Amino acid sequence: MPEGDTVYRAANKLRDALVGRVLTGCDIRVPRYATVDFTGRTVDSVESRGKHLLIRVGGYTIHSHLKMEGTWQVYAPGERWRKPAFQARAILTNDSASAVGFELGVLDVVEDEDEVVGYLGPDLLGSDWDAAVAITNLGTDPTRPIGTALLDQRILAGLGNVYRNEICFLRGIDPRTPVGSAGDLRKIVDLSFRTIMANKDRNQRVTTGDRRPGRHFWVYGRESKPCRRCGTTVQFGLLGDNPLEERQIYFCPYCQPPPS
């Protein structure tokens, strides 16, 4: 699933193509919004909010969440789409570009954004980022595994599975460790912020500082391979609040001692 930095870059791309321009076409291919047509209206702004994307037109917001397969692509007039037309769920056109949302996991048109993003915690890449609030949120349930808490968008918005695994490794914490035993929460939140900020403008996410192919991550996706720091075999598991929400965890059992 795309993480906050991916959605942040998508918002930048859409902002450049749409904001301040009058729509010459608007096609929302969701039955509930089949009659919605913003043709003739000006796009006011585009913003990412955690993993959500908000396109504001007049008093309305076109809200999307990419989920697993979704993507927004921008095309010049007459340019051939790189994905099949039947996958398109939203098409916004102006005189200089077309923005097409393919396979969007969620697509709504709302007047009140709080309906769709009001529950989110502080956005790591947002102008309103508030580390103090994120730290307080993170410490609310000290018995919850830190690896689960970091994925909870109500606590802080923007982290996905890659970041939670890499942040836990960099802090030397087994992701199954309870929040109350995970150490200084300020340092965890600060590392989360610095890591995603460092990657917000990169097409390829890197946490090791090494951009060579295959060397971008410490543990994510490296099951059964030697730890880059100590050589111990990287382990794999599943972690979530319930079986339906379990996601992959990768960890070094030496660098990240298991919770007692």
Mind telling me the catalytic residues? 2-3, 51, 247
What is the distance, to the nearest Å, from the Cα of residue 130 to the centroid of all Cα atoms in its chain? 18
Q: What's the DSSP call for residue 42?
A: B
Only one residue has tokens 């994307």, namely 53
What H or E segment, with its residue span, contains residue 190? helix 185-199
What is the rounded distance in angstroms from the CA atom of residue 151 to the CA atom of residue 252? 20
Contact predicate 167/188, CB 8 Å: yes
What is the distance, to the nearest Å, from the Cα of residue 142 to the centroid of all Cα atoms in its chain? 24
3-state SS class at 88: strand
Only one residue has tokens 């037309």, namely 85
What single letter denotes the amino acid at residue 237?
G
Contact predicate 186/137, CB 8 Å: no
Contact predicate 109/28, CB 8 Å: yes
Strands 235-239 and 43-49: unpaired
What is each CA distance from 253 to 5, 170, 220, in whole angstroms? Answer: 28, 13, 14
What is the rounded distance in angstroms from the CA atom of residue 12 to the CA atom of residue 82? 20
